[in-house]
Every structure is written in C-alpha cells, then in structure tokens.
Amino acid sequence: MTLEINEDHPGVATIALSRPPMNALNRQVQTELLEVAREASIRDDIKAVVVYGGPKVFAAGADIKEMNTMTFVEMNKIAGELQAGLGALASIPKPTVAAVTGYALGGGLEVALAADRRICGDNAKLGVPEVLLGVIPGGGGTQRLARLVGPAKAKDMIFTGRHVKADEALRIGLVDEVVAPDEVYNAALRWAAQFATAASVALAAGKAAVDEGLDTDLSTGLKIEKQYFASLFATEDRATGMRSFVESGPGKAVFEGK
C-alpha cells in the first residue's frame, strides 16, 4: 500500500490499495490502512485524500482464508482492530473520497463507507455479502451503511448479501457520482483537488461537527457545532478569509491552513 501526492494535483494524496488480484483486506493491509491514515492526517502538505484500488477492482472483501479457522476467542480479541483498520479513512480530518471500480464488497465496501464521498464506475458492484458466510459485516458496515442509506435499505443489503449495481447505488445514496470506469480516478482527483487551497482547519471542523453530531441528538449536535464554530475564530484562516471578503469580495482568500 502506498500514500503518494499526485503530481498533477498538489495537495491531493492517493492511498493505493494494492494486493492483487482482488485487493483482499487481510490483517496486514488493515494495519497499513491505519498507518497511512495517520500519516495523511498529520502531513501539512496533504489537503485531501483519494483511496483507489486500481482500474479493475476496488476491494473484493476481507481475506476469508485468514479468518476461516479463527475461533470466537481469537476474533473477539481483534474485532476492534478490524473495525479500526477498515474504517481508518473516517479518522482523517480532511476531505476523503473513494474511487470505486469493479467490486467493492464486504470489507472493501466498508473501506469506501468510511470516506466522505464515493465515486464509482458504471461497472461497479457493491455489497455486504457476509451473511452468505454465516456472519455479518464487522468492519463498520452495519453502522455506516445504515446511517448512509437508512435502516431499511441497509437491512435489505445485509439480509440478502446481494450485489448492488452502480445505478441503484446512486439512487439510494450509497454512492455520490457514477462515471465511466476509466474516469473514476480522475473524477475523484478533481473533487479532492478543489480543497488543495481551502481553509483546512475549517474543513476539519466541519467534518468533525457532522460526524460527531450524527452520533447524538439534535440539541447536543448544535452544542458541538457551536463549539467548533467559535473555535475557528482563533485561527489565522478565519482572519484571512473575513478580511479578504471585506476587501475583495468572496472566493479570493488565500489560506495557509493555520
């Protein structure tokens, strides 16, 4: 797995899933996802992140051969690590987008669900087929999927284990954009590139406010929003943005991410 800045889009880093032929997400890959997510989080030169499995497949799921002989005691010890690894993108305080071609199944879909946005090819097939193995999604799938598409649609996918094609995925809100397969990565880069010079501290605050607010009631969520909103008045970007607006109008500020 690699984390590299795109030469044509400074500020945009790509996390490349690379475990041929189907990018099966074994424990090593899950650990690597955690490591690159931490690196992307702290590097000032990275403003947004694309996760990409390649032109043919995003990730076809966890490594079932690795799990096949595990006992309850063994899995109970590492289940938290499984959730953390497959959900690592959610911990990055920057805009993230999953560029999905081909299959995104089981753990593969769980990785994509942890991103802020999902762009897929019109050949994509997404699903959580764990029930066909006698289990349920264990890397965040039951929770993030239900929050994204609603409980009824999430239960339908979890209960049946069926593959959802790109057009249905777009219709139910599982993905945000559908393009030709050979345009998936470029579309993801274009979306991420718009944040290369944005007010990154404000972006992080906005992301945290939404994510934390979804885990609580409206009243508490509004208090969370108030705290993050007020905190931004201690940043240089806030001063820069408002001064630029007063002097030159909207959309002309040059931010430094401070």
Annotated catalytic residue within 32, 110, 168, 236:
110
Main-chain phi, psi angles of 127, to 5 degrees = 180, 170
Annotated catalytic residue within 7, 39, 130, 256:
130
Task: Provide the 3-class DSSP secondary structure of residue 144.
Answer: helix
> At which residue do the structure tokens 């920057």 appear?
94
- Which runs of consecutive H residues, i.e. helices, occur in the chain? 27-42, 64-67, 72-86, 107-113, 141-149, 151-160, 166-172, 184-193, 200-214, 218-231, 236-248
Instruction: Give the separation between CA 208 and CA 33, rounded to whole angstroms.
Output: 20
How many CA atoms are closer than 13 Å to the CA of 77, on its beta-carbon side? Answer: 6
Q: Note if 130 is an active site residue.
A: yes
**Tally: H helices and E strands in the chain:** 11, 9
Exposure string over 232-245, b if 16+ CB within 10 A, otherwise e: beebebbebbeebe
Instruction: Give the separation between CA 164 and CA 208, rounded to whole angstroms.
Output: 29
Which residues are tagged catalytic?
110, 130
